[in-house]
Amino acid sequence: MAPEADVVGLLLLSLLGMSSTSEHGRCKNYRLQFERVFSVPGDVAMLNSTLLSPSVFNLSATPYNVTWYRLHSHLPISNQRGRVLVRAETLWLLNVTLEDAGDYVTVVSTPDACYRQQTKMVVDVALSSCGRPRTTGKSLSKGVTDRLSCPLKGLMQTLNRYGVEYSLTWYKGCELVPHDHSRLHYWETFLKVIGVQREDQGQYTCTLTFSLDGVTGSVSETIDAEVRGDYCLLPQVREPANDVIKAELGSNLTRRCLVFVPCEGIPRLNVDVYWLVEDSYIADDPLERVYSSQQRVVTVQEDGVWMENWLVISELKETDFNLNYTCLVLSERGSPYCYFTLLHTGASWACANITPLMLRGTTSTDEVGGRARGVRAGCGRPLIGLCCGGLWAVRGRRVYGVAVVFAQRARNGQGLPDLCPDL
């Protein structure tokens, strides 16, 4: 807030109208902040502007006024009991909804200048009741005492500056970590892990609970903790299964990519899971109609790790159908993938399996056959189809007849399984 001695200056600001929306378009523009604000419905979110800084203007000698706007809106954001609280450079959304996602603009006005800055807020749909869709990675060293640091330190510092009391709670997966746990100890903003063991790998969520403007709310962040170990083998894509999904136009669709990574010991997991449509990667931006979640570790077992990444289409359009949606896994051991094909409900199968990546760069029928057998081993099902009396592979709108693979498999003593989906 401005110093009390500068009340006259603030009155001058009001007379000059420096904070009006008609003027802030001519303010010095500090553009979009690199740091995004991530939240989920029901949580509290804090948006913070960095304009109140000596590097922007002389805070101690200059009166100023701070106003918040939604991008492209001419109405200043004001306090709403139980929903919105404006405190100078911070904007608090006390009960986040999906509609709160988007860009916000901060305008700082002084008697002879003004400054503006943009902040983006992303609201993710919580696909699980445990943890948050976006996670922060952290390695724990096996056999020694290590610690996890709650990523909410900046918010805690702001609450301390306001004199607001808060409590910090830790969860491992869905289970509350009690304060009298034998090996997991609360320590300031950390969770100390005594003598790290294999079972300590997993997701940890720190939840900050506090009351602001008469409203009790919470903010949570999730850490994906890995215990350092030995090695992992080639990941296995368990879902999707090179199958066909039918859906109605206008409906929504969620599909999981489920990956199992066989591991010996507790290695540093270096595996990335992506969704693609045809050749294009699908971004993890819930503001888009078609987006993917961030990957996360679901379960850690003795023989390996289960991971998942969700594909979400909020409203199916005509252009979404008759396409392949591919789950691609990148790892040091290889890059397996599997897919599903999306069809209209009631549509008939077009006489061929559709393959997303198999035929790129092939120059011979032998190579096509080799790829078909290799993908069959990786996915548990071939990416080619025997339909209408011939063996075919399809990429986009181009159909490749590769009936010679029939002979290739016969020469290698392989049988020809039923490759056509029973639809």
- Distance separating alpha carbons of residues 118 and 113, to the nearest angstrom: 18
Enter the pTM of the model: 0.55
Place of tokens 């409900």: 345
* Amino acid at the residue 19: S
Q: Are 388 and 371 in contact (CB under 8 A)?
A: no
Rg (C-alpha) for the chain, rounded Å, is 27
Q: Are 123 and 100 in contact (CB under 8 A)?
A: yes
* 208: exposed, middle or buried (Cβ count in 10 Å: 0-12, 13-18, 19+): buried
Mean pLDDT by 10 residues, the chain (423 residues): 41 40 72 92 94 88 92 91 91 94 94 93 86 89 86 92 93 93 94 91 94 91 85 89 92 95 80 92 92 91 91 94 94 91 73 38 40 37 34 35 34 38 33
CATH 2.60.40.10 fits 135-227, yes or no: yes
For domain 230-347, the CATH architecture is: Sandwich (2.60)
Residue 270 has what pLDDT?
A: 87
Place of tokens 């940890």: 204
Residue 422 has what pLDDT?
A: 36
Q: Which residues contact 40 (CB under 8 A, 6 or more apart)?
A: 96, 123, 124, 125, 126, 132, 133
Q: Are 119 and 136 in contact (CB under 8 A)?
A: no
Same topology, domains 135-227 and 230-347? Answer is: yes
Task: List the domain boundaries for the chain.
Answer: 4-123, 135-227, 230-347, 348-423
* Amino acid at the residue 390: G
Would you tell me which CATH number, out of the four given (3.40.1410.10, 1.10.3720.10, 3.30.420.40, 2.60.40.10), belongs to the domain 4-123?
Answer: 2.60.40.10
